[in-house]
Structure 1
Amino acid sequence: MRVLITGSRHWTDRATIRDAITAATRAVPASEVTIVHGDCPYGGADLIAADVATELGMRVEAHPADWKRLGKAAGPHRNQLMVDRGADVCLAFPEQGSRGTWDCVRRARTAGIPVTVN
């Protein structure tokens, strides 16, 4: 099972992320779950989800944006790459002004990936 995580770099609520991942993957052994995230270097939802996934024995697949090469297009490009790689569900953790998170949510929905906004 592939779980796409998108969220604010300012997100700090670890319990909500853990609960959402646990609920979404309840029927699947942890060893068969891959948490896919955008690897925001500033922390937030991406890194919390990666840490939770590791604690739960899940695989982690990080997709850092190439800001140096792509500039402002790096975030949307990375989001599309994650969506194109496929996911069974997208868990979103937005905060006020989370443009990148909402971009990823729109792309996931367009691709037919079920999205849960937390």
Structure 2
Amino acid sequence: MRVLVTGSTAWTDKLRLSSVLAGFPPGTVFVTGDTVGIDALVIEIGGELGYRVDAMRKTRNDAQRYPGEAWKGLNERLIASGVSQVLAFHPDLGAPGKARGTQHAIDLAAAAGIPVQIYAS
């Protein structure tokens, strides 16, 4: 099972993330991006818990396709990497002008029929 973990660059609640990740069966692979906050914490905590974590980086192609918003290309590639579920951690999801990258990933997952679990705190 491949699970995308996405969310806030300001996420610091290691205990909450650890609790959620620990509920997955052995052999689960967590997929995430290349930013601070939730992405960096997934890499750290997922590894500590013994899971494989595939961290993907924004590419030059992402930046060329989406000038100033390379995260959109990364989100597309993350969703297309064969994930079967998305975990979204963001306290400001739904607030105007906030959580744009997280919402984008949620929208891509919904369009692909991939279930999403949202954690606001």
For residues 110 and 21 of structure 1, what CA distance do their matches in structure 2 show?
Answer: 24
For residues 118 and 63 of structure 2, what CA distance do their matches in structure 1 show?
Answer: 30
Q: How many residues were matched structurally?
A: 111
1:90 aligns with 2:83: no
Q: Deviations over 1:29-68 (max 9, x none)?
A: 2xx121100111xx20011111111001111111112368
1:72 partner SS: coil
Aligned-pair Cα RMSD in Å:
1.6
- The one-letter code of the counterpart of 2:115 is P
The structure with higher relative contact order (CA 8 Å, sep 6+) is: 1
| Long gaps (5+) in structure 1 | none
Q: Please name the residue that 2:9 is paired with.
A: 9
Alignment of 1:1-118 (within 5 A): 1-23=1-23, 25=24, 28-29=25-26, 32-40=27-35, 43-66=36-59, 69-70=63-64, 71-96=67-92, 97-118=98-119
For residues 87 and 103 of structure 1, what CA distance do their matches in structure 2 show?
Answer: 15
- Which sits farther off after the overlay, 94-103 or 6-15? 94-103
| Long gaps (5+) in structure 2 | 93-97
Q: Percent of aligned pairs with the same residue?
A: 33
For residues 95 and 65 of structure 1, what CA distance do their matches in structure 2 show?
Answer: 24
TM-score, scaled to structure 2: 0.84
1:61 partner SS: strand
Question: Which structure: greater helix fraction?
Answer: 1
Asked whether the equivalents of residues 2 and 35 of structure 1 are also in contact (C-alpha less than 8 Å), the reply is yes
